[in-house]
Structure 1
Amino acid sequence: MPAPRTILLTGAAGGLGTLMRGLLPAYGYELRLFDVTPIEGEPTAITADLADREALREAVRGVDAIIHLAGISLESSFDKILRANIEGTYNLYEAARAEGVGRIVFASSNHAVGYTPSPEGELPLDSGALIPIDTPRRPDTYYGLSKCFGEDLAQLYWDKFGQETVSVRIGSCFMEPTSVRMLSVWMSPGDGARLFHAALTAEDVRHTVVYGSSANTRLWWDLTSARALGYEPQDDSEQYAEKLIAEQGELDPADPAQSHLGGPFLTDPPIWPY
């Protein structure tokens, strides 16, 4: 498909959205911003809830593609997850379908497979030990469950309407990792922008699911499907390993929060305000 130019970025006021607002324009994109929270310094940003179908329809009109980051990014009550992440994502897809937007990049999460045990072995792990993209989904929270729904919705909209999606199971996208576990799932902001750009411009993606991380020495999952889009990660969390291990120690395989992909979401999930 031709390189899209005008991109609707939902969740633009959030942590990842803020990082991408600063990085994606360098790839030639004009961003249309959408969030339930007003964005300081962005007077043209659309301030609306995902439940507002009329506002969503207006927001998607005329854009070339969508990066959908909006919703609750932590655990919460099922009712709140249902409204924001499940019904909200459906509303977004319906608006995009009605306006003929052919490509969506959906922010899925490693928490869709959070109960999957992490690989074991010597570092760096060989390709046979890495968790494949087709590993069975095992959500660790209502939040993770909502990401499973989003992936299935994307598949339905490809099969039924021909609307393409790249679902990105994002690990942790911060300026630098903050835990030993995060050394395995970290995606640098620069690599995040590279992956989103690849997802926006690759040909014939239909519905493609990829893991979103940098090329970490301690990588847990297989990036083959992401690389097939043209993604070439350039960063590695290993530069932070010595300091984090000295402060926190090595991962404990007896602790479910350290031995599964979902980390603390299995035992003590961070809670979005009820």
Structure 2
Amino acid sequence: MKLQHQLGGLEGLDGPLDFEKRVFVQEWEKRIFGIHAAMMGLSRSLRDALPDYDIDAVPTAFASAWTWADLRSGAEAMNPFAYFQYRYYEKWLGGITAYLLDTGYLTPEELDAATNRFREDPAAPLPSGENPAVDAQVVRYLREGDSPRRGPADPAFAVGAHVTVRNPPAVAHTRLPGYLRGCGGTVERVFEGSYRYFRSTGPDGLGEPMAVYIVRFDPAQVWGTAAEPTGGRLYAELYETYLAPADQEGQQ
């Protein structure tokens, strides 16, 4: 998504920035984070995770895959005007709600009823459904996570190599910062091993394990005259699928 994934240098967004330093501004944001974390900890995708999770033994009714890719897709699929209108956790709320509706965990009628109930009585008791085995799985996931590393790699580029960022077709979800498309840079570091993304992004190129690099860019080459003259170099972590040799500049 060229427009909504990392907006550096996008025309018309040169107003003052609000660097909010608090992780959570309002109490409800903590609950949204908790819901997302619980869904991640119970996701079917953990069947193939590292470390091994016996996710099929966990007594949960959540039988779907939910990853960071799903959360990000929900935000990136928003109408651009809505994306700029809502706060960070409001985007999370919208993405999670749409997912639960689309997958049948909630019906529109149930959502409307719950919304009206809490509008009328904000202090109404929240649903409860504690289960020690479910709680233990979520806590373990929060502590151990899921490593994306999947084994050795055969990197196409070495440190010092000059590369050009590809311009793959725009899809529903990408990990390529839009402002780097077509830019030239230099490989600063090659991470050891290969790394798998949460799911395939189709023509965007992610899916199978691959090498990952830190690439150094000159801000003047990225943003032209809009770059700050006293600014430092720009560094980005990029999957190999997003890079081409420098002599292939303009390759799609």
Q: TM-score, normalised by structure 2?
A: 0.24
Which of structures 1 and 2 has the bigger CA Rg? 2
Q: TM-score, normalised by structure 1?
A: 0.23
